[in-house]
Copies of this chain bind each other. A is one copy, B any other.
């Protein structure tokens, strides 16, 4: 098994990417069956690899890619030099069957666009979407789309719902998952044009549609799948991060030099740490680009080494469990469902 990793992707690449890969190999007790192909500027990667005393003998290949796409770049600006970028070369490896999955914490828009171009969508899926597992006190909820698209149409959201259902059933063994639509009120009549139309379509389908879900319930665990457009999904995720950070910095400020509060914080530390671990995106590694004809995992731009390492575990699981094959087969059924309801 081989997984390609975009060594140049993410705010702190290539340092954290290489460290994440090394950390992965350090954790393997036995000889790993998985090889990693680091794609990016070979010299820079070699330099990073030399920083570590640990030598994952022969387990890391390097594929040189002269160009990289920055986090801030727009679609149009990288299109001309697509052949030599680390994202393109990584995806080519998947296309050729050299690697079975590709991981990038780089520019999400670029990964999405180039994935579509190189690997194509699953048969008749119009728009792939980012499938991200959110932590809840009861376990997890899948958010789809977590930010791959903007300006989605109702039929896209319906496709997300059906793809998500297939994913949860086949990868996580959740039978007939509870599907909710993110909106601004629980009632059918609440929402914008997009959600109201989508609501009507979802309720007509033979799925376990539990209705609208407000932002306050996203982390409740009351739904297995939360369907939303990528703009709203991204805002929801980023706001969540912001709230956690703000509360923490406010708490530190409030504690000030009060010794009792500091002692309290010390005693509470392990509990707080476990909560933060549950809420930490780094624990989840990344999000799957669901709907692409290949396994592409997108990491958070702020990915640290732990996030990269966990993305590798995620990719390994998806490859080992034939996730792509399972989803492909089911995705064709999605299409016939949509046709039956005249939604395509």
Tell me if A's interface is mostly helix, strand, loop or mixed: helix
Which of these, B137, B189, B215, contacts A236 with CB under 8 Å?
A: B215
A residues bordering B, Cβ < 8 Å?
72, 74-75, 109, 136-137, 147, 150-151, 182, 184, 186-187, 189-193, 195, 214-220, 230-232, 234-247, 249-251, 253-255, 258, 260-261, 263-272, 274-275, 278-279
Stoichiometry, copies per complex:
2
Given the known inter-chain contacts A151-B193, A219-B246, please indicate yes or no for A187 contacting B271, CB distance below 8 A.
no
Residues of B within 8 A of A220 (CB): 242, 246
Instruction: Give the Cβ gap from A194 to chain B, nearest Cβ, in Å.
Output: 8
From A271, which residue of chain B is reached at the shortest CB distance?
B254
Residues of B within 8 A of A253 (CB): 137
Report whether A217 and B235 are in contact in the complex, using a CB–CB cutoff of 8 Å: no
Instruction: Give the Cβ gap from A111 to chain B, nearest Cβ, in Å.
Output: 14
Residues of B within 8 A of A186 (CB): 72
Residues of B within 8 A of A151 (CB): 192-193
Residues of B within 8 A of A272 (CB): 251, 254
Which of these, B192, B239, B264, B274, contacts A265 with CB under 8 Å?
A: B264
Instruction: Give the Cβ gap from A191 to chain B, nearest Cβ, in Å.
Output: 7
Given the known inter-chain contacts A263-B267, A264-B263, please indicate yes or no for A246 contacting B137, CB distance below 8 A.
yes
Given the known inter-chain contacts A74-B189, A278-B250, A279-B247, please indicate yes or no for A239 contacting B268, CB distance below 8 A.
no
Instruction: Give the Cβ gap from A251 to chain B, nearest Cβ, in Å.
Output: 5
Residues of B within 8 A of A271 (CB): 251, 254-255, 258, 261, 264
Residues of B within 8 A of A147 (CB): 184
Residues of B within 8 A of A182 (CB): 235
